[in-house]
Structure 1
Amino acid sequence: MTTTAVDEARKRLGRIGATLMTPLAPADEWRAAAARVEKAGYGSIWVNEAVGGREVFTQLGVMLAATDRIVLGSGIANLWARHPAAMQGAASVLADAYPGRLALGIGVSMGAIVEQSGQEWTSPLAKMRGYLDAMDAAVEAAPAPSVPFPRLIAALGPKMQAVARDRADGAIPALLPAEHTRRVRETLGPDKLLISLQTVVPEADPAKARAIARQAPGLLMPGSPYARMLREMGYGDADLADGGSDEVIDLCFNWGDDAAIARRLQGHLDAGADHVVASVFAPDLPSTADRLERLAPSLL
């Protein structure tokens, strides 16, 4: 039987991964943080990008070279940042160089970010479908990795989830509660990969934890897809105002002591996620690695 990208990813990822998504930092700090996260026992490290600045494939290459076994993923590679043939080629080169250690998450980003880059925002669904068509057309011109890498779509709403089911190896939603994870699994079915990116606030005091969570940009940005998805789940303007009501914050941000955070992340696994990625609030890479190391005994 031919091993698929989903089979390989499920075998290698384990239960819990981590993000390293801080602003610009020297390459040595990225190497050191990645090595510490790997040594702590996490199954994956994920990095993001906008358009310009920290380019995701270069960043992944730096950390792949600094580690031995851990899976590196784009969470997400912004499709507005490069031609689809370049996306296919970059992922294929890294997957060829580091067999079984790359996961490609692709997303359409947000209108405000795209327009800041000087491009015109268009229908996310049409953009994604056309982009995937062009990536598929570029496969023959790219290296053929010995181990297939999974292609995942940042899919929040049901229509983009259907694209992830029909055109990719799975989905990589972020920020939303375990009920959303359950809905995504229902749409994807059992044979697709579901990676859930979850924000972690290691603070047991409710007022302090909620204040920290309300600083996150996800629900505050104009046209936020996370806010739109919460509205589709039944939450109104009052629930989403000023960074979110206590109920919304408690649903979307995994705060508490280490044991409470572990229970919350387990809830996403119970809801159907194959792998949950912990994204901690921290001001810099060394502090991020510190917090991930502290959480590891409870999470892994």
Structure 2
Amino acid sequence: MVVEETRRQLSGSVGAGLMVPVAPAAEWRETVRRVEDAGYGSVWINEAIGGRESFAQMGVLLAATERIMVGSGVANVWARHPAAMQGGAAVLADAYPGRLALCAGVSMGSMVEQAGLRWERPLQKMRDYLDRMDESADMAPRPPVPFPRLLGALGPKMLELARDRADGALPAAMPVEHTRRAREILGPDKLLVVMQLAIPETDPATARGIVRASGLLDLPGSPYDRALRGLGYGDDDLKSDPLIDLRFAWGDEKAIADRMQEHRGAGADHVAVSVLAPDLRSTADLLERLAPALMAR
């Protein structure tokens, strides 16, 4: 039921990712209002342990807006006890019915260890975490308000877990062929929300240079690295121009809109665009610039 309701809410709209460092709350409020006014149907935030905390941040964004769905993309399972994850989502869902989407993820070993925690096998970690979330559900506000639970999933085993134990998956920064494979694994009855990273820049060398400078290609052993290898890409491909072009949409507004349409054609229920920008205000500027072309498609 929650999958059908979320699909209905997101139908015909595109989402926006706000993947930028911590900024003053006033800037977050201003940005999310601009994103909502531009017509986006959802907004997604990421999380770094010790940086922007997902539930506090989602509370700020929900309070500042009227209709847009706010999602975690992703809420880091290492950052909180599973009962706190369940309880935080339940409280926000109760306060803002139909506007919260929870996506939980295992992050990356380097980030977890940098926070002083011990990295464990990610698949087993997520299984155990979901078990404990489910066990704590009776502590939530009563009567409970349903919300979609997604997993940040890239590899086939994590996608299978999203199929079996969640309402769907949210992969990011992957080629369209990954979206097609994710839909095959999830089947037709689960949500597939795709995060497309974009660079509104028409010069190929400049666009690829922005990607390389972002550090997003320097993640050896990460879930992204393993998922790309699972698609058949090798060492020589991972930082190559052709794979950058497949993973990151660059060009004018139409080119970025076309790429998002390709994800929908490959089985995505909803596609969110995250522009590579240095701060919130420039992110809002770019999202407003892209909105007419994205909404038209």
In the superposition, the TM-score normalised over structure 1's length comes to 0.96
Distance 1:216 1:167 in 2: 33
Give yes or no for contact 2:20–2:279 (8 Å, CA) kept in 1. yes
Distance 1:139 1:159 in 2: 25
Aligned amino acid, residue 261 of structure 2: Q
Distance 1:145 1:163 in 2: 27
Give yes or no for contact 2:90–2:141 (8 Å, CA) kept in 1. yes
Q: 2:157 is matched with which residue: 156, 159, 173?
A: 159
Unaligned runs of 5+ in 2: none
Distance 1:88 1:168 in 2: 13
Q: Which moved more, 1:48-57 or 1:270-279?
A: 48-57
Q: CA RMSD in A?
A: 1.0
Aligned amino acid, residue 169 of structure 2: A
Give yes or no for contact 1:92–1:144 (8 Å, CA) kept in 2. no
Give yes or no for contact 2:90–2:145 (8 Å, CA) kept in 1. no
The residue that corresponds to 1:285 in the other structure is: 280
Q: 1:5 is matched with which residue: 2, 6, 9?
A: 2
- 1:88-167, aligned counterparts within 5 Å? 88-144=86-142, 147-167=145-165
| Post-superposition CA distance 1:40-72 (Å, at most 9, x none) | 000000001021111010000001000000000
Give yes or no for contact 1:164–1:171 (8 Å, CA) kept in 2. yes
Distance 1:218 1:13 in 2: 28
Identity %: 65
Deviation at 1:143, TM superposition (A): 1.4
Is structure 2 residue 221 aligned with structure 1 residue 223?
yes
The residue that corresponds to 1:59 in the other structure is: 57
Deviation at 1:281, TM superposition (A): 1.1
The residue that corresponds to 1:32 in the other structure is: 30
Give yes or no for contact 1:156–1:225 (8 Å, CA) kept in 2. yes
Give yes or no for contact 1:99–1:146 (8 Å, CA) kept in 2. no
Distance 1:195 1:170 in 2: 8
The residue that corresponds to 2:44 in the other structure is: 46
In the superposition, the TM-score normalised over structure 2's length comes to 0.97
Aligned amino acid, residue 234 of structure 2: G
The residue that corresponds to 2:166 in the other structure is: 168
Q: 2:270 is matched with which residue: 272, 275, 297?
A: 275
| Post-superposition CA distance 1:231-270 (Å, at most 9, x none) | 1111111112xxx101110100000110011001100000
Is structure 2 residue 262 aligned with structure 1 residue 264?
no
Runs of 4 or more consecutive aligned structure 1 residues displaced over 4 Å after TM superposition: 144-147
Deviation at 1:224, TM superposition (A): 2.0
Distance 2:144 2:66 in 1: 17
Q: Give aligned pairs, total.
A: 294
Distance 1:227 1:100 in 2: 34
